[in-house]
Amino acid sequence: MKTILFVASFTLMLVTVYMVFMWVPTEQNLGVSQRIFYVHVPLGWIGMVSIFVVGIASVIHLITRKNLWDAIAYSAAELGVIFATLILVTGAIWAKPVWGVWWSWDPKLTTTLILWFVYVGYLMVRSFSTPGSQGRRYASVVALLGAIDAPIIYLASIWWRTAHPNLNIGPLAAADSDLDGKMYITFFVSLITFTVFYVYVMLERIQMRKCEDDLDEVHQYVSLNW
């Protein structure tokens, strides 16, 4: 399964790179800088999906007490902070030629930064709390707060005046979207590419996390019986 996902993500990534730089037309108003859209928006999608995975897996773990769900939650948080960082970095790279600044306290940017702090807060709670269910409960609360923030990020450009353009993708996308057919196709291919890649990396990280948990149990057993 993981081999199939690896091959699929690698192939799709090559296709995406070709489509972004060779096939899709250049947007007239934003120029070449608009091509980062096909990376920035899928990263945003993964960053928001990942916090839902963290929150749901954390709650299920607290109910079932199964370590698999905790491994899923922790792995999703680790990947989430990476993707959230990439969202901010690619957003800043895009903002500089378009807005003339690397950063502004735009509502969508600010709520995305809050999501990054949520991921960091979750990992810090897990790292510095005492081993056991108490630290996992506290971390679950942090994850649920992040899950509330995710839809706010999506709706920020609707609820507040923002420098970001109107939504082009999703159920609330503007009816007068200026994306042509090739742009839509390239975007959806890119979205599928990053989603498949995320699933592949998640499976690898969950397996590693389970091995880490097994090693911790062995270490605790040895420490208690030495």
Indicate the domain borders of the chain.
33-209
Q: Which tokens sit at 19?
A: 């489509």
Distance, in Å, from the CA atom of 62 to the CA atom of 8, rounded to the nearest integer, reads 34
Q: Which tokens sit at 8?
A: 């699929």
Q: Which tokens sit at 41?
A: 């928006």
Flag residues of the chain having pLDDT under 70: 27-31, 33, 130-133, 157, 159-179, 213-214, 216-226
To 10 degrees, the CA torsion angle through 80, 81, 82, 83?
50
Distance, in Å, from the CA atom of 102 to the CA atom of 95, rounded to the nearest integer, reads 6
Residue 216 pLDDT: 66
pLDDT tens profile 194-208: 999 999 999 999 888
Nearest Cα residue to 145 out of 159, 125, 164: 125
pTM: 0.83
**Phi, then psi, of 21 in degrees rounded to 5:** -100, -15
Residue 31, classed as helix, strand or coil, is strand
Beta partners for residue 54, in sequence order: none
Average pLDDT taken over every residue of the chain = 81
Q: SS3 breakdown of the chain: % helix, strand, coil, rounded to 5?
A: 80, 0, 20
